[in-house]
Structure formats: structure tokens, C-alpha cells
């Protein structure tokens, strides 16, 4: 028996809506709890619709944790990480696409190989290194490697290299004949032409850095120097703080990437798609 086109569409919508509810329900619960008075949460637990709204939880969050400080730390870290990764990835990608030299393909393989390398293999030595050069308990440990590519940089390098390869050689050759050096070719021809891809790298880097959990908890022990995401590790051990303030904190922690996703949805999708193309 075949379904009519109409009833088939209805069925598909029903499934899609059911899936959307499954996806959104836990998120919705976080949002409503963040704005529900503690007393009500304590009595009734989480409800689909809050009976009363309050901002009290956010004030309590600020009292229990240096959340404002964490936020500033995260903004600084993620911004510098993103700047560093855009610079280092585009430079490396430029070298791997504009020039031809011996060992270029081998180097590209090395770059791609680092995708396979799990962070925990280098976690302990990296901690020791950062400790030795005095960068533990410092935000520098979190963003400095980004200026040198970082283990997460292979995505950006690969994406930008593919983009650079699409640029016709004639552009750069004409510029070189006019006396432009490779740096000029890089900044005034190559970078402007791959702007859409640069924005994908920006989105990827920001998200990577903002959402990073393991590095902050490895490198940083001083509570005031924590990032927002790393700071969430303190939430579990604070039994004195109730779920209202904790959900307020979790909401604030996810807000920047959620907002970025709202305004740059296309770049996020592109990020996922280009990760797939690599395969």
C-alpha cells in the first residue's frame, strides 16, 4: 500500500517535530530553571512552564562563584585563541598551497595526521611544559599554542589550503611581476579572496576555545583564573548551591556559542560539511 504524498508529508513532519521536542526539552528545562525562584524548584522540581519568574538565580550564582571573572577570562582566551589560530592557520595554509617545495606533501600529511592524535597523549607532557615555563595558572597557556597552529589547527589549515588552491595563479603572478612580495600577495590577494572560509575558521576556533573543558581544568587551579567552561567543573562539588543558580550559570556558559550560532548558522553548517569532505 502506498501512502499519498500528503499523508507522507504529515508523517514526516510528525517525526521531525517529535525529534525537535526531544532535542529542545533538556535545553528548555535549563532555561526555565534558571529563571524560576529557588523555593519553587525546591518544592516542585522542574516544570514545563515556570509559575513565577525571577533573576534571583543569577545574583546567587555571582555570589557562589566568581562567574563574572570567569566570563572575562573566557572572552579574553577565546578572542586571543581565535586571532592566533586564524593567523597561524592561514600562514601555514598559504605556505602549503602558494609555494611548492620539497617535503610539502609530507608536511601536509603531518598536519592531517595530528587530527588522529588524541589530546590525552600529550596532556601530561604539555602540563609539565607549561608548568616549567611558568604558564600554569595563567590564561596564556590556553591561547598561546593557537598562535602556533595548535593540535586543533589542522582543520583550519586544511580548509584554508583547499580554498587557496582555488585561486588562479594569474592573480599572484601579475602581482609578483609588479614587484609585490609573497607577504603582499598573501595579505592583499589570498586572504581577501577566502573571506567566507576565514569566517568558518573564526567560528570553529571560537567554539573550540570557548567550549574547551579539559585544558582549563588541567592548567588552571586558581578559581579566579578559570574559564567559564572549566568553571563548570566546580558546579558538581558545590552541594550548597542549588540547581537554579547552577542552571543560570550553565545557560550563561552556553549563551555566547548559541548566539554565535544564531548569527553565523551558515558558517557552522559549512564547518560540519567541510569536516566531512576531508574524509
* Residue 101 found at the interface with another protein (CB under 8 A): yes
Find out whether 38 and 53 touch, Cβ atoms under 8 Å: no
* Residue 218 found at the interface with another protein (CB under 8 A): yes
* Residue 92 found at the interface with another protein (CB under 8 A): yes
Q: Which residues ranging from 129 to 158 are in contact with another protein (CB under 8 A)?
A: 129, 145, 147-151, 153, 157
Q: Minimum Å distance from CB 135 to another protein?
A: 12
Distance CA 193, CA 111 (A): 23
Distance CA 262, CA 123 (A): 33
Tell me the number of residues near another protein by CB under 8 A. 95
Q: Minimum Å distance from CB 51 to another protein?
A: 13
* Residue 276 found at the interface with another protein (CB under 8 A): yes
- For residue 70, CA distances in Å to 32, 34, 234 come to 23, 18, 12
> Which residues, other chains included, contact 158 with Cβ-Cβ below 8 Å and sequence gap of 6+?
93, 111, 112, 278
Q: Minimum Å distance from CB 270 to another protein?
A: 9
* Nine-digit cell string for 101: 617545495
* Residue 233 found at the interface with another protein (CB under 8 A): yes
Among 108, 139, 246, 248, binds another protein (CB under 8 A): 246
* Residue 248 found at the interface with another protein (CB under 8 A): no
Find out whether 90 and 158 touch, Cβ atoms under 8 Å: no
Among 183, 188, 223, 224, binds another protein (CB under 8 A): 183
Find out whether 61 and 248 touch, Cβ atoms under 8 Å: yes
Around Cβ 19, how many Cβ atoms within 10 Å?
10
Among 37, 38, 40, 46, binds another protein (CB under 8 A): 46
Our CB check for another protein shows the closer of 20 and 174 to be 20
Distance CA 218, CA 18 (A): 39
Our CB check for another protein shows the closer of 214 and 224 to be 214
Q: Minimum Å distance from CB 122 to another protein?
A: 4
Our CB check for another protein shows the closer of 114 and 199 to be 114
Among 166, 187, 188, 265, binds another protein (CB under 8 A): 265
Residue showing cell 534558571? 34
Q: Minimum Å distance from CB 127 to another protein?
A: 7
Q: DSSP states of 237-278 as a string?
A: T-TTS-HHHHHHHHHHHHHHHHHHHHH-HHHHHHHHHHHHHT
Among 18, 23, 53, 223, binds another protein (CB under 8 A): 23
Amino acid at each position: 500500500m502506498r501512502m499519498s504524498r500528503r499523508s507522507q508529508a504529515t508523517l514526516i513532519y510528525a517525526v521531525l517535530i517529535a525529534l525537535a521536542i526531544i532535542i529542545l526539552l533538556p535545553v528548555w528545562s535549563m532555561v526555565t530553571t534558571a529563571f524560576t525562584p529557588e523555593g519553587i524548584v525546591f518544592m516542585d522540581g522542574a516544570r514545563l512552564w515556570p509559575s513565577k519568574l525571577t533573576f534571583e538565580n543569577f545574583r546567587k550564582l555571582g555570589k557562589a562563584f566568581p562567574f563574572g571573572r570567569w566570563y572575562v577570562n573566557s572572552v579574553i582566551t577565546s578572542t586571543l585563541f581565535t586571532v592566533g589560530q586564524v593567523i597561524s592557520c592561514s600562514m601555514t595554509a598559504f605556505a602549503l598551497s602558494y609555494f611548492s617545495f620539497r617535503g610539502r606533501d609530507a608536511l601536509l600529511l603531518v598536519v592531517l595526521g595530528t587530527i588522529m592524535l588524541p589530546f590525552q597523549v600529550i596532556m601530561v607532557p604539555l602540563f609539565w611544559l607549561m608548568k616549567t615555563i611558568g604558564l600554569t595558572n595563567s590564561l596564556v597557556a590556553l591561547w598561546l599554542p593557537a598562535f602556533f597552529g595548535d593540535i586543533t589547527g589542522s582543520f583550519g589549515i586544511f580548509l584554508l589550503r583547499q580554498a587557496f588552491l582555488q585561486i588562479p595563479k594569474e592573480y599572484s603572478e601579475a602581482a609578483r611581476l609588479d614587484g609585490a612580495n609573497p607577504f603582499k600577495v598573501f595579505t592583499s590577494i589570498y586572504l581577501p579572496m577566502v573571506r567566507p572560509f576565514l569566517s568558518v575558521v573564526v567560528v570553529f576556533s571560537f567554539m573550540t576555545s570557548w567550549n574547551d573543558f579539559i585544558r582549563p581544568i588541567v592548567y588552571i587551579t586558581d578559581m579566579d583564573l578559570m574559564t567559564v567552561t572549566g568553571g563548570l567543573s566546580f558546579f558538581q562539588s558545590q552541594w550548597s548551591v542549588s540547581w537554579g543558580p547552577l542552571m543560570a550559570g550553565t545557560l550563561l556558559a552556553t549563551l555566547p556559542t548559541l548566539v554565535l550560532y544564531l548569527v553565523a548558522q551558515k558558517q557552522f553548517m559549512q564547518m560540519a560539511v567541510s569536516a566531512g569532505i576531508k574524509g
